[in-house]
Amino acid sequence: MKKCLICNTRIDPFISFGKMPLANGFLTQDQFADEYFFELKVAFCPNCGMVQLVEQPDREKMFNKNYPFFSGTSKLMAVHFEEFAEHVKKDYLSSQDPFVVEIGSNDGIMLRHFKKDGISHLGIEPSENVARVAIENGINTICRFFDEDCARRIVQEHGQADAFLGANVMCHIPYLHSVIEGIKILLKPKGIVMFEDPYMGDVIEKMTYDQIYDEHVFLFSVSSIKYLFEQHGLEVIDVEPQETHGGSMRYVIARKGIYLVSKRVSVQLGKEKAMGLDKPETYANFRKNCEDSRDKLMSLLNEVKKQGKRIVGYAATSKSTTIINYCGITTDHIEFISDTTPVKQGKFSPGAHIPVRPYEEFLANYPDYAFLFAYNHAKEIMAKEQKFMESGGKWIVYAPKAKVLE
């Protein structure tokens, strides 16, 4: 019997995506035989409302010295994190000599904007290769997983923090109770927590079920986050919807009673009720929509292949792993996936083993169709690929539904 990671209530999965490899497990041919798989099943907790994976690989399997995701690969995300940092500086750092801690700080994409202004900062980043990039750029970073014990050490060495930040990392951590106890040790009495993650409401609304993969053990909503932090005497004081990753939510949290709570919190909670995020039926319906989406996508791909056209994948994203393996996309459909990240090039995609090739190969021989796996970077990519489109190239997209963009 499985128990909710947040409130210990018994949970049952509402969908299984089947056997899945690690979403960032790009591999070489000699590693095919030992590839790791687990069953990707998702459950909704009827008590606290948290949507969660029923099974998750060990953290060291996912976050280690070979973590292939470098935040800096997207220009738009770089702008996004500059704005995030400016917002924190302007609205939340009023003390004389502020200290900012960010978990999952990756290559330093956000912290560099604090460093630039001489603000004391510390990144907590367990994946050694990405942490090294930050350190080489002079960003204070320690290479470990954040939890209660880590918080104690930070306070011993650096004192308490004014702000605790995180982007696309809180939803990766199954032991959130320890993280939140750590936050309480770490934060000054008036300190704030600010983090953002893909938002459950958007996943349901836009059918971006590719947000569900090994690393994302949780899909948060305002109501589930509120429940979780209230158990520890903390309060959600504001929420700010974001466009990143196909729809994210930023949460601002502080010790209870210190700050006024923005109206936006109750407005968003109302929207979640109206969407039925608190009802098991919503998730049963979501499962049906996933199956429909898969069927539509596969008939589209099969149709295009019947016409003898070439399809190349655009960007070997982590979230494409769920789409590819759940839908059953193979090298019969997609010739290769073009990607700009050197450590992914020359390797094969997790599970389906579609070759990942340098972006230059896409440019050198345009396919008839590019399958846009990085729909969250669509604006940036469309602007860059005018020539492909002018030469008759078309896009295949899968969210919110499978279709061809001419």
Q: Which residues form the interface with ligand TMP (CB under 6 A)?
A: 73-74, 315-318, 339-341, 344, 359, 374, 376-377, 380-381
The interface mask with ligand SAH, positions 33-72, x = CB under 6 A, is ------------------------------x---x-x-x-
Q: How far is the CB of 164 from ligand SAH (least distance, A)?
A: 11
Instruction: Name residues whose C-beta falls within 8 Å of residue 295's C-beta, 6 or more positions apart in sequence.
Output: none
Q: Considering the complex, state which of residue 221 and residue 349 has its C-beta at the smaller distance from Zn ion.
A: 221
Among Zn ion, ligand TMP, ligand SAH, none, what does residue 6 contact (CB within 5–8 Å per kind)?
Zn ion
At 45, which amino acid appears? C
Q: Considering the complex, state which of residue 122 and residue 173 has its C-beta at the smaller distance from ligand SAH.
A: 173
374: nearest Cα among 320, 294, 310, 298: 320
Q: How far apart are CA 160 and CA 91, in angstroms?
A: 19
Q: How far apart are the first and last CA of the chain?
A: 48
Q: Considering the complex, state which of residue 68 and residue 126 has its C-beta at the smaller distance from ligand TMP.
A: 68
Q: How far is the CB of 329 from ligand SAH (least distance, A)?
A: 24
Among ligand TMP, ligand SAH, Zn ion, none, what does residue 168 contact (CB within 5–8 Å per kind)?
ligand SAH
DSSP string, 144-206: S--SHHHHHHHHHHH--EEEEEEES-GGG-S-HHHHHHHHHHHEEEEEEEEEEEEBHHHHHHH
Q: How far apart are CA 401 and CA 372, in angstroms?
A: 12
Q: Considering the complex, state which of residue 12 and residue 55 has its C-beta at the smaller distance from ligand SAH.
A: 55
Q: How far apart are CA 283 and CA 3, in angstroms?
A: 18
Contact set for ligand SAH, span 107-136 (CB under 6 A): 109, 124-127, 130
Among Zn ion, ligand SAH, ligand TMP, none, what does residue 326 contact (CB within 5–8 Å per kind)?
none
Furthest-apart CA pair in the chain: how many Å? 66
Q: Which residue is nearest to ligand SAH (CB)?
A: 104
Q: How far is the CB of 337 from ligand TMP (least distance, A)?
A: 9
Among ligand TMP, ligand SAH, Zn ion, none, what does residue 73 contact (CB within 5–8 Å per kind)?
ligand TMP
| CA 42 to chain CA mean position, Å | 16
Is position 24 an interface residue for ligand SAH (rule: CB under 6 A)? no
Contact set for Zn ion, span 2-31 (CB under 5 A): 4, 6-7, 9
Instruction: Judge whether 151 and 183 are in contact, CB under 8 Å.
Output: yes
Q: How far is the CB of 167 from ligand SAH (least distance, A)?
A: 4
Q: Considering the complex, state which of residue 13 and residue 191 has its C-beta at the smaller distance from ligand SAH.
A: 191
Q: Considering the complex, state which of residue 175 and residue 366 has its C-beta at the smaller distance from ligand SAH.
A: 175
Contact set for Zn ion, span 31-90 (CB under 5 A): 45, 47-48
Q: How far apart are CA 241 and CA 174, in angstroms?
A: 23
The interface mask with ligand SAH, positions 137-166, x = CB under 6 A, is --------xx--------------------
237: nearest Cα among 217, 257, 208: 257
Q: Considering the complex, state which of residue 47 and residue 302 has its C-beta at the smaller distance from Zn ion.
A: 47
Q: Are strands 403-405 and 394-397 parallel, antiparallel or unpaired?
A: antiparallel
Instruction: Name residues whose C-beta falls within 8 Å of residue 184's C-beta, 6 or more positions apart in sequence.
Output: 232, 233, 234, 255
Which tokens sit at 66? 């070979």
Contact footprint for Zn ion (CB under 5 A):
4, 6-7, 9, 45, 47-48
